[in-house]
Amino acid sequence: MSAMSLRERLAAKRAAEIGEPEKSTEGDWYVLHTYSGYENKVKKSIESRVDALDLGDRVFEIIVPTQDEIEIRNSQRFTVQRKVFPGYVLVRMIRDDETWYALRNTPGVTGFINIDNQPVPLGEAQVQAIMKGMAAEAPKVKISFSLGDTVRIIDGPFADFRGEIDEINQERGKIKVLVSFFGRETPVELDFLQAEREG
Give the pLDDT confidence score for residue 43 in this predicted structure.
Answer: 96
Q: What residue ranges define each of the domains in the chain, with the CATH number in brackets?
A: 6-140 (3.30.70.940), 150-197 (2.30.30.30)
- The answer to whether 111 and 33 have CB atoms below 8 angstroms apart is yes
Q: What is the DSSP string of 82-109?
A: EESSTTEEEEEE---HHHHHHHHTSTTE
How do beta strands 195-197 and 184-191 pair?
unpaired
Give the pLDDT confidence score for residue 24 in this predicted structure.
Answer: 47
- The answer to whether 197 and 175 have CB atoms below 8 angstroms apart is no
Give the pLDDT confidence score for residue 36 in this predicted structure.
Answer: 87
For residue 66, the SS3 value is: strand
Question: CA torsion sign, 182 to 185 to 189 to 193?
Answer: positive
Helix 97-104 / helix 39-52 crossing angle, nearest 10 deg: 140
Q: Quote the strand ranges of 64-173, DSSP E.
A: 66-73, 76-83, 88-93, 109-112, 114-115, 118-119, 140-142, 150-153, 162-169
Give strand pairing partners of 164: 150, 178
**DSSP state for residue 135 in the 8-state scheme:** T
Give the pLDDT confidence score for residue 1 in this predicted structure.
Answer: 43
Beta-carbon contacts of residue 172 (< 8 Å; ≥ 6 apart): none
CA angle 9, 15, 16 (to 5 degrees): 90
Other C-beta atoms closer than 10 Å to the C-beta of 125 total 11
Give the pLDDT confidence score for residue 21 in this predicted structure.
Answer: 43
Give the pLDDT confidence score for residue 99 in this predicted structure.
Answer: 92
pLDDT tens for the chain, residues 1 to 199 = 445 555 555 555 555 554 444 444 689 999 999 998 999 999 999 999 999 999 999 999 999 988 887 776 666 777 888 888 889 999 999 999 999 999 999 999 999 988 888 888 988 888 888 888 777 656 666 667 888 889 988 888 788 889 999 998 877 778 899 988 777 888 889 888 788 888 6
* C-alpha to C-alpha distance for 64 and 87, rounded to whole angstroms: 9
